[in-house]
Amino acid sequence: MNVDVPSVIKAALPKESRNKNVAILKDNWTGTMNHNDPGFLSDDFPRNPPKLYIAGEDDDFDADTLMAWRAEGFDVEYLSLGAGFMHTLGALHQKRKLGPCETFGIVAYGKAASLCLEHYHVLDNNTELKLGCLIAYYPTRIPDPNTRFPSAIRVLVHLPVGQVKVLKQTQMVGIQGKKRTTKLTVDGGVGVGGLLPAGYPCYSYGAPAGFAEHDLDEYDGICAELAWSRSIATARRAFRMDSPSGVEATVERSAHAKFHSRSAKQLLSTFTAHDAPQVTHVPTLSGALGRQELQDFYSDYFLGDNPPSMKVTLLSRTIGLDRVVDEMFVSFKHTQDMPWILPGVPPTKKRVEIIIVSIVTLRGGKLHHERVYWDQASVLAQIGLLDPKLVPQAAQERGVRQLPVVGGKAARRVFSGGEDSDEGEADNELIRDWEDEDDEEEEDENESDEEEEEEEEEEVVGEDVDENGVENGADDEVKSGAGKLSLDGEPALPRKGKANGS
């Protein structure tokens, strides 16, 4: 059955409120009954590539951004801001014949983003609920952040730190009236991620407007990458392209080629061909940029340079829509040259155990960027190139007793989950004051226990004496030899104080 939701809403509203803006303060619609939702039909149902409109201020737009969205499987069309932009915006649902349960999305920039946000903030403007997602980069004006967008639209707003105009409207019984504009100062947001408190998802970035467009001087690689990750996640969820199975399968094929088959050809097949892929082993800055360098690096300095004793155990995996983070326990005996982790160091025959963290970013279902981290000081300590007890004289004079390095102990603790220690994974042995605090706490506990025992003995002597000065029940205690009785008639265990070091 085809339900015309906007018509139903119009029929339910009084005549005087029709064709007027409604501010949504609370939305109880979960979206599960939206017949236009791409998830309404089974995954096997034939469908076209999701339609995505990119809207910008000029006729020329960043080609790299358009290519990146196309590589993700979207049917991309660019719209420039012009005299007929609002008319075009209102007719987007008719611009291409959409099939059953098909929706479209918009990614807009600058003034175009402002117009899109204001237009689709009104429920009536999303005809037949065909707009599935709206992503806005550095709009010059945003709707009232205390309100919400209709639940059929996944909204995401990227704002530079600074000031932004806010469009507000007076409201009475849900009906909005005269528009007014105020200003809002955009700060760094909550925590370190720039999340802003608003009725719809908003994030702030420490870069000027234009930070996400490669062809502008304002381009900022870190902010652009972070915004892209959030944008692709929003779009994929809107179009139900959020299955993690494909992402994980690609990462697994890459890991298999690295550590098992050791095939450069198989490994290179997992990397993207649309952009220059990159791998960086951060502690040694070894790696490669571009497919040819990757081919050379893995063939000459990695695949054949890992000893047979190397074992890799996955401890945890976090899967996003465009990246995978692996935490691994890696052990090996240093029996051959290993340029990626110990460049210039001949074999030492020493055993090494470390925790390695790999962060893989994917574009178009293929590896685009991988960063690998580990504790290099721990590696050097285990092979004998770094002795934590050898402290430079200048550091000794400042009170340094030893270098804060623990070697393979850290990796073993994490690998065992702290089961081999009463202290868990962390023991704080390198924190000088920590042991002193523990000793003081134990002394205080012991003193408190002794005081409680003395008080209990005084109470017994003072209360358990008869009129002749003889302790009642003394003979019974001597005969039983079991001390005091508990409430259930069983001998009570003697009370023990906490000993030092227990």
Q: What is the pLDDT of residue 417?
A: 80
Residue segments in the chain with a per-residue pLDDT below the cut of 50? 16-18, 20, 29-33, 35, 46, 171, 173, 460-502
For tokens 């790999």, the residue is 358
Q: What is the pLDDT of residue 474?
A: 41
Taking the complete model, does pTM exceed 0.85, yes or no?
no
Expressed in angstroms, the distance from the first to the final Cα of the chain is 72
Q: What is the pLDDT of residue 443?
A: 57
CA dihedral 126, 128, 133, 137 (to 10 degrees): -20
| Residue type, position 173, single letter | V
Q: Minimal CA–CA distance to 364: which of 188, 259, 236? A: 236
List helix spans (H) across 28-169: 63-71, 85-90, 92-95, 111-120
3-state SS assignment for residue 429 = coil
Query: Measuring CA to CA, how many Å separate 345 from each of 378, 379, 411, 492, 502?
Result: 15, 12, 22, 64, 44
Q: What is the pLDDT of residue 360?
A: 97
**Per the structure block, which two tokens stand in for 390?**
């050898």
Residue-by-residue DSSP string for 315-369: EEEEE-SSEEEEEEEEEEE--S-BTTTBTT------EEEEEEEEEEEEETTEEEE
Q: Distance (Å, rounded) from C-alpha 314 to C-alpha 349?
A: 25
Q: What is the pLDDT of residue 123?
A: 81
Q: What is the pLDDT of residue 432?
A: 82
* Residues present in the chain in total: 502
Q: What is the pLDDT of residue 236?
A: 93
Over the stretch 72-91, which tens digit does the pLDDT of each residue have?
999 999 999 887 888 888 77
Which residues lie across from 175 on neighbouring strands? 22, 172
